[in-house]
């Protein structure tokens, strides 16, 4: 499952839900978007639209967050940043 961002100008971008939903959480937690927009942007078929000012706030916030992160870092579910290696998930059939 994925979400498609469609700009007024330029190419659309398809984002995997595993990446999109945490991004929405990050935006809501930082109060860049409100709960209503969070719900609409996270639900398929809602055609959530944002105005230019909101789109710029989102882009500015994400650019800043990415700029301060190192390539080996990632954002965790609690919105903290870590460079700790992921633990592999091992599934054993019994």
The model's pLDDT over 2-14, given as tens digits with 9 standing for 90+, comes to 888 888 888 999 9
What are 43's two structure tokens? 């639900």
Taking a C-beta distance cutoff of 8 angstroms, is the pair 79, 29 a contact?
Answer: yes
End-to-end Cα distance, the chain: 30
Q: List the chain domain ranges.
A: 2-82
Residue 37 has a pLDDT of 94
For residue 40, give the DSSP letter: H
CA dihedral 7, 66, 87, 38 (to 10 degrees): -50
The SS3 assignment for 11 reads coil
Q: Is 33 exposed, middle or buried (0-12, 13-18, 19+ CB in 10 A)?
A: buried
The mean pLDDT of the chain is 88
The model's pLDDT over 47-76, given as tens digits with 9 standing for 90+, comes to 888 999 999 999 999 999 888 899 889 887
């Amino acid at each position: 499952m994925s979400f498609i961002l469609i700009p007024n100008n330029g190419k659309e971008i398809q984002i995997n839900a595993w990446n999109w939903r945490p991004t929405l959480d990050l935006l809501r937690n930082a109060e860049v978007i409100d709960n209503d927009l969070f719900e609409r942007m996270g639900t398929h078929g809602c055609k959530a639209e944002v105005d230019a000012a909101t789109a710029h706030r989102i882009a500015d916030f994400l650019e800043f967050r990415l700029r301060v992160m190192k390539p080996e870092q990632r954002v965790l579910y609690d919105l903290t940043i870590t460079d700790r290696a992921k633990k592999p998930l091992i599934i054993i059939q019994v």
